[in-house]
Amino acid sequence: MIILLSYKKNTLLFQYHTLLNRQQNMKNSLFSFVLILTSSVLLCPAITPFPGLARAAVAQNALPSHTIALSFDLEHSTLSGTSRIDLPKNTPLALHCGPLTITGAILEQEDQTPLRIKANRKNIIRLNPVPDSRTLLISWTMAADNPFASSNLITKNGITLAGFWHPMPEQDMLYTLEAILPPGFTGISEGEQSSTTKRNGQQQFQATVPYPLRGLHFAAGPYSVQALQYKNIKIYSYFFPEDNHLAAEYLRKAAGYIKRFEALIGPFPYSRYSIVENRLPTGYGMPGFTLLGQAVIRLPFIKDTSLGHEILHSWFGNSIGLAGSGGNWCEGLTSYLADQSFAQDKGMEYRKHQLLRYEAFVHPDNTMPLSDFSGAGDNQPMAKAIRAIGYDKGSMVFNMLNKKIGDAAFFQGLKELYVHKKNQRAS
């Protein structure tokens, strides 16, 4: 039995009269949840299976595989890469190449002459489905010219690839990453299986990702690596030598967050987790690791706030991803279970400050429904207003639903959501 509950925006604002004056401007937006009733009432957001995404138990040969190989020129801040994409039978491909310079592309198919492939004017390679399996081989280069705009950095002090740096498909794939590391560098990416070996006098990094992803992130630098074992999970810190004294407390806090959220949601999705420092001012949560800027890591409150937020994304945002439509519900839920919960632990008036931010930054001419929220970077226009909607308002909706159905049903619903939708996309 499924009950659909819809909440208008104005109900989100509760009894705070300063915001209730905006009711008339908010009547046209709805934010919906699905309550699944089993032996008790369970909560989960409405689920939409996403093409190309499957549970780990599903045969992985049904998914395309993408093997990427990289080498770096630190002096000129460039990389050279190759991609091998193996397409199963009847699989189309739309491959966005964005800022990359494609230097070659060959399509191989059994018993046929290899074909030279060219991207269209938008630098997109498109292949129609055919009854046979095929392999697409691509080579490309990329220059990390504007790191703060592109989120890609290639320097002698460190490498960060967190933007558009490899050919990006429109469907999820199974990835393998290989990279020749500069001397003295250690690399990290998604994937629970990674290794670094010396071959022909070079350090070669390799990571294999056993779950489907849309794309990869990569960081490398002169890291000092420490580790902490928590149950069957290995927690690592990849910190620069000048900040390595901070690592032990970050590792301890990370283990505490994993323990806390496992009790609320279910087993941690990965066998390893890494806290990775980089030279850009980032705060990202990826499958298996978080990428935090050096200036961010040095802030004394980050391990008590943002670290837990990014770790919680391991469940919601990474293990369960976002569908192509329906809005970024993960940030609202993560803000509710992490940021708001941490503040309540300390007796802080978190929701009051959320409402004040909403009042200060969101107005009738810049509001939007939660279903239109996808994210808000610091450089994005109206970022504060967008964050007040997606993070603050979104978390308040989850708070309202929790109060409506009670803790037992709410958290049991989250556990059911995680069990049934792991390695899928939801909206």
Residue 257: CATH number of its domain: 3.30.2010.30
φ/ψ of residue 70, rounded to 5: -130, 150
- The dihedral of CA 237, 243, 248, 249: what is its sign? negative
Q: Are residues 248 and 305 in the same domain?
A: yes
Does 318 fall in a domain? no
Does 245 fall in a domain? yes
| Residue that is last in its domain, among 292, 312, 332 | 312
Give pLDDT, residue 349.
85
Q: Are residues 164 and 144 in the same domain?
A: yes
Number of compact structural domains in the chain: 3
Query: Which residues, listed in sequence order, are joined to residue 188 by a DSSP beta bridge?
Result: 219
Q: Are residues 101 and 24 in the same domain?
A: no
Q: Are residues 231 and 197 in the same domain?
A: no
Q: Are residues 129 and 183 in the same domain?
A: yes
Average pLDDT per 10 consecutive residues for the chain, totaling 427 residues: 30 30 33 33 35 40 93 98 98 98 97 96 97 97 95 98 97 97 97 90 94 96 98 98 98 98 97 97 95 97 95 96 88 95 87 90 93 79 88 94 96 96 88
Give the whole-angstrom CA distance, residue 210 versus residue 247: 28
| Residue that is last in its domain, among 289, 312, 335 | 312
Please give the biggest Cα pair distance in the chain: 72
Does 96 fall in a domain? yes
Close Cβ partners of 124 (under 8 Å, ≥ 6 residues apart): 94, 95, 96, 97
Does 317 fall in a domain? no
Q: Are residues 107 and 231 in the same domain?
A: no
Does 55 fall in a domain? no
Give pLDDT, residue 323.
87
Does 195 fall in a domain? yes
Q: Are residues 150 and 206 in the same domain?
A: yes
Give pLDDT, residue 386.
92
Give pLDDT, residue 381.
66
| Residue that is last in its domain, among 312, 345, 378 | 312
Q: Are residues 64 and 143 in the same domain?
A: yes
Single pTM value for the model: 0.84
**With b meaning 16 or more CB within 10 Å and e meaning fewer, what string describes 72-93?**
beeeebbbbbbbebbbeeebeb
Give pLDDT, residue 60.
53
Q: In 21-144, where does DSSP find H-type helix? A: none
Q: Which own/partner contact pairs does 349-355 have at CB distance under 8 Å and 24+ positions apart? A: 351/396, 351/399, 354/388, 354/392, 354/393, 354/395, 354/396, 355/13, 355/16, 355/18, 355/19, 355/392
Q: Are residues 71 and 173 in the same domain?
A: yes
The SS3 call for residue 85 is strand
Q: Are residues 298 and 349 in the same domain?
A: no
Does 333 fall in a domain? yes
Q: Are residues 302 and 381 in the same domain?
A: no
Does 14 fall in a domain? yes
Give pLDDT, residue 307.
97
Domain that holds residue 39: 2-50+323-426
Q: Are residues 405 and 357 in the same domain?
A: yes
Q: What CATH number has the domain bearing residue 157?
A: 2.60.40.1730
